[in-house]
């Protein structure tokens, strides 16, 4: 791997940007790219699921997802920026592979429980991946570590909110 440092600039001697950390950077970059795609797909899924649902009960879910879209978009941008900072390249759209089966539109657009469960599934996937990224960067790349901890907190909040919605539906015998 070529030295990523600009010609004439001194390489970082310590930290994750050091020349001899190229391999560690590579595995962190893989994790960051996966995170980036997860956020992008979440934005797509939340846009669709903030528009499709029908009915009085759907309103709360719609408003909640509308807010989350902006947060998830912000996460995608933070992951992209960190990819560049670690001498990576933010992937182009042709590399995207969709994975969120649970967030495909339900058969009936009044099926709000389907959407709630899909959101919980997506947030859980993010929480699992970000925990692994936090482990991977612990003591190795404190800046990525700190950023992912911050984002993990948002995802835990999203998950908790939708768990609350699901509980309400369960209490009423609707889920």
Q: Which stretch binds Fe ion (CB under 5 A): 1-9, 39-47, 58-66, 110-118?
A: 39-47
Q: Rounded CA gap, 94 and 75, in Å?
A: 20
78 part of the interface to Fe ion, by CB under 5 A? no
Closer to Fe ion by Cβ: residue 4 or 74:
74
**DSSP secondary structure code for residue 13 in this structure:** S
Residues 15/21, Cβ–Cβ less than 8 Å: yes
72 interacts with Fe ion by CB under 5 A = yes
From 56-64, 111-119, 152-160, 165-173, span contacting Fe ion (CB under 5 A)? 152-160
Over the range 92-117, which residues count as b (16 or more CB within 10 Å of their CB) and which as e? eeeeeeeebebbebbeebebbbbbbb
158 touches Fe ion by CB under 5 A: yes
Q: Please select the residue that binds Fe ion; options are 133, 137, 155, 165, rule is CB under 5 A.
A: 155
Residue 41 touches Fe ion, criterion: CB under 5 A:
no
Quick one: which segment of 46-54, 69-77, 91-99, 101-109 binds Fe ion (CB under 5 A)?
Answer: 69-77
**CA distances for 99 relative to 81, 125, 126, 142, angstroms:** 23, 10, 12, 29
Question: Which one of residues 25, 33, 75, 82 is an interface residue with Fe ion (CB under 5 A)?
Answer: 75
Q: Which is nearer to Fe ion, 20 or 101 (CB)?
A: 101
Number of neighbouring beta carbons within 10 Å of residue 70? 11
- Work out the angle at residue 78's Cα, subtended by the Cα atoms of residues 101 and 65, and round it to the nearest 5 degrees: 45
In whole angstroms, the minimum distance from the beta carbon of 67 to Fe ion comes to 10
Q: Which of 30, 124, 132 is nearest to 79 (CA)?
A: 30
Single out the segment in contact with Fe ion by CB under 5 A; choices: 7-15, 22-30, 72-80, 141-149.
Answer: 72-80
Kindly list the residues in this chain that would bind Fe ion in the complex (CB under 5 A). Answer: 39, 72, 75, 155, 158
């Amino acid at each position: 791997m070529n030295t990523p440092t600009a010609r004439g600039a001194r390489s970082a001697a310590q930290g994750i940007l050091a020349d001899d950390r190229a391999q560690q950077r590579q595995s962190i970059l893989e994790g960051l790219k996966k995170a980036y795609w997860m956020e992008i797909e979440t934005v797509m899924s939340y846009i669709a699921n903030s528009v499709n649902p029908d009915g009085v009960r759907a309103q709360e879910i719609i408003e909640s997802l509308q807010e989350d879209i902006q947060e998830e978009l912000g996460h995608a941008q933070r992951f992209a920026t960190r990819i560049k900072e670690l001498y990576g390249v933010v992937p182009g759209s042709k590399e995207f592979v969709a994975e969120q089966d649970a967030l495909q539109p339900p058969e009936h657009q009044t099926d709000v429980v389907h959407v709630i469960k899909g959101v919980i599934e997506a947030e859980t996937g993010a929480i699992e991946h970000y925990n692994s990224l936090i482990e991977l960067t612990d003591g190795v790349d404190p800046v990525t570590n700190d950023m992912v901890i911050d984002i993990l907190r948002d995802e835990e909040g999203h998950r908790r909110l939708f768990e609350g919605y699901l509980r309400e539906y369960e209490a009423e015998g609707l889920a």
